[in-house]
């Protein structure tokens, strides 16, 4: 006697689609990254010495972690600065990305070109272009000069902005945050390409009937944004916040110090312990941020 086939519910089908979606990444992780990850953890508790036959490993316990946290004079300070810079940059990047996405989602002539221009920094910041620029001495000189000029211009604009805000009676901490945002405008724009793309895709997925119904009810554009647009794209805000945190920390000074400790000082065990401390700090911070933002996320069924 044949048993009747049980049909899958919509929720079960969606779960299976999610499994198939992450399967290539999971297979690549097991084949390419799992073994180096375990070796890195092993090296963080060891001392590696290069010799004629390769290298030798000597277990040193928690010595590398103690050296990273209490002996190295730069690591804790660099780690703290990286985390503080991330706390300042990520909100600015997400807010700018959302603002730019809302503008680029409007209907106007040259919309496709405008979207390409906003996404251009992502292409220019890719590995191939970056390696070409880093390998060209003249490019480096020009880049340094342009950054110096833009820095002087931003400093002048920041002073004028601070003077205007103080004369308006704005709180000191708010003024400092806004001035810092002006000084970081180049970094914010160049780091917002992917986030803008995600927000634009989310805005295009919102049904136009919601806006039509709100317009019939007499809602203004401001009210439609906060009552329809913002709640509908709130899951993407969580996605972009997590992406921005990881993207911001991968290119931080802490990452550079970890690389220099391994490949310039040849202290591979100390470098591995620094990397795992950095990984733990990022993981804890991501967990806290995701938990806080998830409480406010609206999921449309």
**Quick one: DSSP state of residue 4?**
P
Confidence class of residue 105 from pLDDT cuts 50, 70 and 90?
A: confident
Residue 140 pLDDT greater than 70, yes or no: no
pLDDT at 77: 92
The domains found in the chain, sorted by start residue, are 68-294 (1.10.3720.10)
HSE, side-chain direction, 13 A CA sphere, residue 212: 4
Token pair belonging to 63: 């010595």
Confidence class of residue 31 from pLDDT cuts 50, 70 and 90?
A: very high
pLDDT at 52: 73
Q: What average pLDDT score do residues 194-199 get?
A: 88
CB 99 within 8 A of CB 200: no
Q: What average pLDDT score do residues 110-125 get?
A: 70
Q: In 3D, which of 217, 252, 211, 244 has the Cα closest to residue 229?
A: 211
Residue 184 pLDDT greater than 80, yes or no: no
Q: What average pLDDT score do residues 148-176 get?
A: 61
First-last CA distance in the chain: 39
Residue burial 239-277, b: 16+ Cβ < 10 Å; e: rest: bbbebbbebbbeebebbebbeebbeeeebbbbbbbbbbb
pTM across the whole model: 0.75
How far is the CA of 73 from the CAs of 47, 65, 70, 93, in angstroms? 20, 13, 8, 31
Residues 6+ apart with CB under 8 A from 46: 57, 58, 59, 60, 64, 269
């Amino acid at each position: 006697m044949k048993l009747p086939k049980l049909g899958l519910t919509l929720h079960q089908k969606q779960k299976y689609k999610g499994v198939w979606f992450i399967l290539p990444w999971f297979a690549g992780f097991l084949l390419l990254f799992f073994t180096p990850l375990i070796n890195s953890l092993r090296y963080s508790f060891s001392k590696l010495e290069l010799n004629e036959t390769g290298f030798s490993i000597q277990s040193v316990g928690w010595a590398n972690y103690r050296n990273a946290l209490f002996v190295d004079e730069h690591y804790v300070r660099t780690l703290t600065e990286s985390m503080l810079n991330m706390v300042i940059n990520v909100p600015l990047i997400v807010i700018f990305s959302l603002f730019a996405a809302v503008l680029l989602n409007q209907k106007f002539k040259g919309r496709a070109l405008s979207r390409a221009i906003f996404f251009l920094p992502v292409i220019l910041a890719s590995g191939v272009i970056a390696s070409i620029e880093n390998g060209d001495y003249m490019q480096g000189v020009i880049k340094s000069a342009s950054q110096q000029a833009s820095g002087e211009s931003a400093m002048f604009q920041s002073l004028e902005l601070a003077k205007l805000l103080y004369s308006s009676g704005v709180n000191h901490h708010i003024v400092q945050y806004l001035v810092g945002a002006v000084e970081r405008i180049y970094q914010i724009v160049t780091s917002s390409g992917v986030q803008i793309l995600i927000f634009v895709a989310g805005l295009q997925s919102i049904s136009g009937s919601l806006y039509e119904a709100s317009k019939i009810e007499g809602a203004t554009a401001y009210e439609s944004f906060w009552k329809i647009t913002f709640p509908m794209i709130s899951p993407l805000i969580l996605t972009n916040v997590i992406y921005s945190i990881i993207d911001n920390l991968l290119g931080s000074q802490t990452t550079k110090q970890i690389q220099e400790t391994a490949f310039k000082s040849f202290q591979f065990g100390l470098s591995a312990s620094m990397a795992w401390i950095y990984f733990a700090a990022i993981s804890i911070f991501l967990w806290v941020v995701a938990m806080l933002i998830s409480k406010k996320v609206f999921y449309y069924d």
